[in-house]
Structure 1
Amino acid sequence: MKKLVLAAITLLYLSGCATSSHFNRAAMEGISTEPGQPKEYARADSVKEIDALKPQAELPLRLYVPQPANDNPWSQEEIEEIESWKPFLKQNGLVSELFVAPESSRRNCYQYDNCQLEEQRMEAARFQADAWLAFDINSSEEEYANSLSILNITLVGMWVVPAHHTSSDVRLEGSLVDVRNGYLYAFARAFGKASQTRPFMYSERYETRRLARLNALKNFGERLRQETSGSAASTL
């Protein structure tokens, strides 16, 4: 039994160059070994309590995707990307519902307060979700002017000459967590990059970062599609 519980924690590495283990569907299906068993609601604060946690959710999941705790809210394009995962996750029997949190659900919980996960857990419970996908997003940006920037002293140079370069690298990590007791089902990582060379008046590093984050989210979704489709096929 202990081996089954340990197997339920599956690591999914979502990067273009990294290898990854398959999504362990069999282990998640093995969670509901005793139909009708009462669900446990708990909060684990010690290593011993965490080690004693058991998965509570049953497939298919009602999956909640909160707004990022440490970054800007999801854009319309990002919400559309996340919602595009629902058909294949539903087809593979992993989720019954997938919904993205409205921006109004975000609380004033700052990163240094170490309260994001608990706040997201409460949000997911309000939406009657079985599990939530907690994202952590980190990025690095670079800006520099090339030799053509000398033309910025002219109006034509400022508006027409592509003299300013911006680039952004985004690392996006997601954890699939049980709403009832915080049990970790899976962990995933994806990366996204974007770069632009534009005239001074159109150079915008925030736009470059937005594109990089969207690319990371798409990479996350694509690998998720591959992993879950492969695990579904292996059970047939």
Structure 2
Amino acid sequence: MHKSTKTISLTLLALAFTSCTTTTQTTSGADYLSRYTPAMNKGNIGETTLSDANIDQQVRQIAEVEPDLRFPARIGLARIERGRLTNSPVNEIRAWGDLADKLGAPYGEFVPVSPFIAALVRPGKASESRVPNVISDIRRASARQHLDYVLVYEVTQNVSEQSNGLSFTDLTILGMYVIPSRSIKINSTASAILIDVRNGYPYGTATAFASDKNTRTKSGSGAAKRKDKSNNYVQVVENLTGEVETMMKDLWVLQNQRR
């Protein structure tokens, strides 16, 4: 019984790490803030510190945002890598182009957000190297490109390498080239968020995963690993486009419900 329960738990855990997810949001800031009572707005004097009051005010200001979702639209495509806006590789652009073809003209068009334009409109004292600034960079560049919304996405990878039972052959000349002795496992996660360029409203998120495991000889593991990482990047982005397609279609339904 215990063994069976453990097996089921491991299976569920594996499913949790390989599943893909999407979320959508079109809730009203005014409706959200309408739940504040006068006492909550003023705070409870004697129990609320100045720091608490500042946070409360920030929360109210953050919540004061309304959705304005309209299709067709000009939708920016922004790729983040190592905390900076970068150009999407050709294979990833192709995957996003396939998604645009699937969605069709009723949704609008995807337009890559240019890192050059982001640099052009960046304030003098702002730095692109600080991660918190990248979303602001993307929104400013998107505004200059007259985009309505922007889909920001990022791919992360975890690469692990270990020797198998034949690793002793690494010490021989022929063994380095002939006998597979190293297992390379690559797990990738791709995440995306669709935000309003004008007010920063978050309309939806999507997440996808991909994993790959290949056995390589020690001599060829460097170049092969780089190739595997590249292929894994493309695979996880292709998986992400499927999740974004689901998110966009859900938003289409929500848009029509709000009319």
Deviation of residue 126 (structure 1)? 2.2
Check 1:158–1:141 CA distance in 2 against 1; reply closer, same or farther (3 A cut). Answer: same
Check 1:138–1:46 CA distance in 2 against 1; reply closer, same or farther (3 A cut). Answer: farther
Q: How many angstroms apart in 2 are the aligned matches of 1:230 and 1:180?
A: 22
Q: How many angstroms apart in 2 are the aligned matches of 1:158 and 1:104?
A: 45
Residue in structure 1 matching 2:97, options 83, 90, 101: 83
Instruction: Deviation per CA, 1:194-233: give whole Å up to 9, x if none.
Output: 2211111221344333333222211111233345457769
Residue in structure 2 matching 1:213, options 226, 233, 241: 233
Structure 2 counterparts to residues 76-155 of structure 1, below 5 A: 76-91=90-105, 93-94=106-107, 96-102=108-114, 104=116, 109-112=128-131, 114-155=132-173
Q: How many angstroms apart in 1 are the aligned matches of 2:145 and 2:164?
A: 50
SS state at 2:169 partner: helix
Q: Which has the larger displacement, 168-177 or 212-221?
A: 212-221
TM-score w.r.t. the length of structure 1 is 0.71
Deviation of residue 103 (structure 1)? 5.8
Contact preservation (8 Å) 2:113, 2:138: no
Q: Name the structure, 1 or 2, with higher relative contact order (CA <8 Å, separation 6+).
A: 1
Residue identity over aligned pairs, in percent, reads: 20
Q: How many angstroms apart in 1 are the aligned matches of 2:22 and 2:153?
A: 19
Deviation of residue 161 (structure 1)? 1.9
Contact preservation (8 Å) 1:170, 1:193: yes
Contact preservation (8 Å) 1:67, 1:102: no
Task: Give the residue type in structure 1 aligned to 2:19.
Answer: C
Contact preservation (8 Å) 2:22, 2:207: no
Find the counterpart in structure 2 of residue 8 from structure 1: none
Q: Which has the larger displacement, 183-192 or 156-165?
A: 156-165
Instruction: Deviation per CA, 1:40-89: give whole Å up to 9, x if none.
Output: xxxxx932222111124521121111132426753221121122111122
Higher-Rg structure is 2
CA-based RMSD:
3.3
Find the counterpart in structure 2 of residue 64 from structure 1: 76
Q: Which has the larger displacement, 75-84 or 114-123?
A: 75-84
Residue in structure 1 matching 2:61, options 46, 49, 54: 49
TM-score w.r.t. the length of structure 2 is 0.65
Q: Return 5+ residue gaps in structure 1 as ranges.
A: 1-14, 29-44
Instruction: Deviation per CA, 1:74-116: give whole Å up to 9, x if none.
Output: 322112112211112225x22x21122456557562245x111
Contact preservation (8 Å) 1:164, 1:197: yes
Instruction: Deviation per CA, 1:20-53: give whole Å up to 9, x if none.
Output: 56x68xx69xxxxxxxxxxxxxxxx932222111
Deviation of residue 183 (structure 1)? 0.8
Contact preservation (8 Å) 2:80, 2:153: yes
Check 1:135–1:164 CA distance in 2 against 1; reply closer, same or farther (3 A cut). Answer: same
